[in-house]
Amino acid sequence: MPKGSFEGLLVPALTPFAADLSPDVGRFVGFCRWLLNEGADGLAVFGTTSEANSIPLRQREELLAALVEKGIPAGRLMPGVGACALEDAVRLAGLAVEAGCGGVLALPPFYYKNVTDDGLFAYFAELIERVGDRGLKIYLYHIPPQSMVPLGIGLVGRLIEAYPDTVVGLKDSGGEWSYTETLLREFPGFDVFPGSELFLLPGLRAGTRGCISATANINAAAIRKLVDTWRSEDADAQQARLTEIRQTVQAFPVIPAVKAIVAHFHDAPEWRTVKPPLTPLGEGDTRELLGNLARLDFSMAPPEAGP
């Protein structure tokens, strides 16, 4: 099967919010540009870390249009099209194809639990058929700790067999290495991206295409360096450093923690805002997190100057 257009480091970009909880479009575009400058190969916008399922469809459409209009290369975008309503997913995926995005990240419908593989296959098949464009490239999104709707190996195989030119990859946020290994073994040429840099080096050695990680919002340059040099003698030391930073951050609620780190290093307290039901990281936890990172000599590059 043909490979998709993505490899290396993709960042599920954070979404900044204004005081009224609407997306801050200008800050979002600037941050996405900064992430690319820091070494991101692509941007998996509108995923879990982006708080996408707390953002109305219209606002997601506006954010995607703003990215493309402001010069973010559409081919480097993998927007999430997660939605419980099939028609919403179809609309988002169709707009992504029209904009020239390199692919879309597709969650299963996640409200109903214990659904059958036949039902999930029907959902993805309807999505593909209704978009009806050969330019559509789907990366399945396996995140059962959050969605509670896993994508079984058998289902993935059925989708690849039925739509080999469309279903080209998968983001694996399940956290079980055995699942990743099975995908690589059963589906040669299928593009697998672990959902954390904890699995970056073992993944690259086993044949994954890179990673798509929440903490790449704060550590993109170091993660990209390992992507580029994973065959070097110091690769294990690089991985150990990435693991140490990741584990320090994920000791706290990840999205509020990553936003608190960006707010601190970019001197922009607005970044702390999350949409309910999430809550910002408390002051005590923020001090502890930043202190732990300071002991690791962690820092971030300053934000891009100007609009």
The CA dihedral of 214, 208, 190, 111, to the nearest 10 degrees, is: -30
Q: What is the pLDDT of residue 305?
A: 63
Residue with tokens 């690319």: 36
Sequence-ordered list of residues with C-beta below 8 angstroms from that of 67, at least 6 positions apart, any chain: 28, 29, 32, 43, 45, 74, 77
Q: Which domains does the chain have, with CATH numbers?
A: 8-232 (3.20.20.70)
Q: What is the DSSP letter of 107?
A: P
Instruction: Tell whether omega for the bond before 202 is within 30 degrees of 0, i.e. cis.
Output: no
**pLDDT tier at 4 (50, 70, 90 boundaries)?**
confident
**Residues facing 138 on adjacent strands:** 104, 167
Q: What is the pLDDT of residue 5?
A: 86
pLDDT tens digits for range 161-219: 999 999 999 999 999 999 999 999 999 999 999 999 999 999 999 999 999 999 999 99
Helices (H) and strands (E) in the chain, counts: 12, 7
In angstroms, rounded to a whole number, what is the distance separating the alpha carbons of residues 177 and 72? 33
In angstroms, rounded to a whole number, what is the distance separating the alpha carbons of residues 50 and 246? 18
pLDDT tens digits for range 235-264: 999 999 999 999 999 999 999 999 999 999
Please give the C-alpha separations between residue 237 and each of 222, 230, 280, in angstroms, as whole numbers.
Answer: 12, 10, 33
Q: What is the DSSP letter of 80?
A: B
pTM (2 d.p.): 0.95
**pLDDT tier at 306 (50, 70, 90 boundaries)?**
low
The token pair at 224 is: 């990209």
Outline where 19-152 has alpha helix (H): 25-37, 57-69, 86-99, 117-131, 144-147
Helix, strand and coil content of the chain, in percent to the nearest 5, comes to 50, 10, 40
Mean pLDDT score across all residues of the chain: 96
pLDDT, average across residues 119-137: 97
In angstroms, rounded to a whole number, what is the distance separating the alpha carbons of residues 18 and 36? 23
**Residues facing 169 on adjacent strands:** 139, 191
In angstroms, rounded to a whole number, what is the distance separating the alpha carbons of residues 39 and 34? 9
